[in-house]
Each structure stands twice: as C-alpha cells, then as structure tokens.
Amino acid sequence: MKAFFIEGYGKQNGGIGEVPDPVPGAHDVLVQVHAASVNPLDSKIRTGEFKLILPYSFPLILGNDLAGTVVRTGSSVTLFKPGDEVYARPPDNRIGTFAQLIAVNEDALALKPSRLDMAEAASIPLAALTAWQALVETAGLKKGQKVLIHAGSGGVGTLAIQLAKHLGAFVATTTSTPNVEWVKALGADLVIDYKKQNFETQLQGYDVVLNSLGTDVLVKSLKVLKPGGQLISISGPPTALFAQQQRLSWGLRQVMRLLSWGVRRKARKHGVSYTFLFMRANGAQLKEITTLIEAGAIKPVIDRSFAFESTAEALRYVEQGRSHGKVIVTLK
C-alpha cells in the first residue's frame, strides 16, 4: 500500500512510498482510509519532540485521525463488520492514518456520523476527543460556569467552543482580529482580540481555562481563574502524574516534575489546579461525540483539503499555525 512515512526525525523528513499492508490482530479492524486530518501533533512527532514519551520505530507512518470503510475484522471483533463507515483517532502507539490502510483496535473506533462526509468526519476525532477529555472528563464543566478557550479558531478551539456551549457554559476565547466575528458565530460569548487586548486584564472569575499556547500564555491564564479553578493545558509542561499514567521511567517522572514545578507552584499560590492533558484514543467517548454531531450540537470546521500526494504540503501549511479549523488529506 501507499503511505506517507518518515525514516528518522527531522522537520523536512518524510515522503510517500510503498509499505507492507497492515496485518490486523484478533481485536483489530482493518480500515480503508478515505480521509485523514493533519494536526500539529504530526509535525511534533516528525521532529522528535515526543520521542521520550512516544518511542516510535522506523519507518513510521504519520497521521492521527481517520475516516474510512471497514475492509475486514479480527476474529474477536464484535462491534464492526466489513462495509461499516467508521472514524477514529488511533492509539498513540499505533498511529499511521496517512496511508491507504490501517489496522485499529476496535475500542478506538466509532461509526461515522451519518450526516458527515468522510472529509468532515476525519476532522473530528483528535480535536473533539481533546475537547471532551478537557472539558467533560477533567474539568466536569457545568451549566453556568465560565470557561476561557485559547486559540478559538484552531482545530481544538473550534470544537471546544461548540462543546462548551452545548454544556451550557459562558465561553470566552482568544483569537486574532480577522477571526473575531467568525468565532462568535461558533458560539463564543466573549472574544478577546489578542492583537489589541490583554486577556489577563479583561477576564476574571473563570472556572476553567483550556490552554493550547505557550508558557507565557499559560502563566497569564492563572490570573483569570477564581479560587478553585482549573488550568488545563494540552501544550505542556507535562507533569509527573502524566509520566506515571504513561508508565514512563522514574527518571522521566522526575524530569517532568521539574518541568512543571514553576507553573504548579504559581497555580497553588493562586489557589487553582494545573493539569497537563495528553489526549488518548477512546471509541466510547467518540460515540458520545457522534450523538452530539447527529443532533447538530457540534459541526466540523474545515480550513482546506489536500490530495494525498500533497501530504507534505499539508504538513507545511499546518506548521504555519494559521489554519481556521482542520486541514484534511483525502485518499479517495
């Protein structure tokens, strides 16, 4: 089969070539990929930013989102059958959606929402699961609470805004001038134009902040939270608890304890909590998200699509950090 893969770490590494077809195990579903989305995570994996956390071997097929059709199932699979249209974020240790075929554990899959086409469905899993695990699972966001979602025009931000509004929260977000009205249309109640305003002086008394930006924004975000509030970051720094959950070595646990010491200390000083979130594959949660999509509560937001042959170009585009919503690679 054809796939986009790397044979070592480096920003410009990677290309399309022939690789062996995946062999599904007993609990796996073999999926023909119709579309995949491109995430900043793909670039970070390619450059080796996560090599201590995710020790991949080479050649490594990139790609963390998919929508496609079931080709065949393993002997122990009970939830899916050939011909089913599915979508997923595969587990961290078995990525590889920039390919014609992928074997995915059935626990990571869900049936594709009927109201979405393949490209739209491929835009959902990683970003929506990130938003779900941050706002529902970790924060327990409730009706009437206030949440600040940074980078509201990004892949995670666009879906997090919609999910937070569905949960009944008051939603503030940050974005640049051209996107202010656009993110309001997604459901944001208050938009901070970071080109003109400082969010930390404009907002106060928030219950939750979802951060996807740098350390400077992370620290400033502490100022907008009320006592007992929660700062959740998907861009780090990682914590020792995260290292423990990932079953990393004792040494790496100490490294991550040190990396997050400063922000954890500042969080305690403000009377709030800090959590580093590294989303995980979860077909059951994706099924919940499907229900919201079918009800019209969450809609995909796609910036542009690239042909599979232009996967490298799609990665470069995402690396610029200017996309509005998700970027898609189509294989069929």
- Digit-coded pLDDT (tens) for 133-185: 999 999 999 999 999 999 999 999 999 999 999 999 999 999 999 999 999 99
pLDDT reading at 330 higher than 80: yes
Query: Each residue of 67-85: pLDDT tens digit?
Result: 999 999 999 999 999 999 9
pLDDT of residue 53: 86
Mean pLDDT of 87-102: 97
The fraction of the chain above a pLDDT of 70, given in percent, is: 100
Architecture of domain 2-124+301-330: Alpha-Beta Complex (3.90)
Mean pLDDT of 59-65: 98
Query: Each residue of 186-241: pLDDT tens digit?
Result: 999 999 999 999 999 999 999 999 999 999 999 999 999 999 999 999 998 999 98
What number of other Cβ atoms are within 10 A of residue 196's Cβ?
9
- Asked if residue 68 lies in contact with residue 31, where contact means CB atoms within 8 angstroms, the answer is yes
pLDDT of residue 13: 87
Residue 49 neighbours by CB under 8 Å, 6+ apart = none
Mean pLDDT of the chain: 96
pLDDT band, residue 332 (cuts 50/70/90): confident
Distance CA 55, CA 53 (A): 6
Options 1.10.10.60, 3.40.50.300, 3.40.50.720, 3.30.70.2860; CATH of 126-276: 3.40.50.720
Query: What secondary structure letter does DSSP report for 146?
Result: E
pLDDT of residue 155: 93
3, β-bridge pairs: 17, 99
Domain boundaries, given as residue ranges, for the chain: 2-124+301-330, 126-276
Distance CA 319, CA 153 (A): 15
pLDDT reading at 245 higher than 90: no
The fraction of the chain above a pLDDT of 90, given in percent, is: 92
Distance CA 102, CA 2 (A): 11
261, 263, 265, 266 alpha-carbon torsion, rounded to 10°: 160
Collapsed DSSP state (helix, strand, coil) of residue 229: strand
Collapsed DSSP state (helix, strand, coil) of residue 122: helix
Query: Each residue of 298-308: pLDDT tens digit?
Result: 999 999 999 99
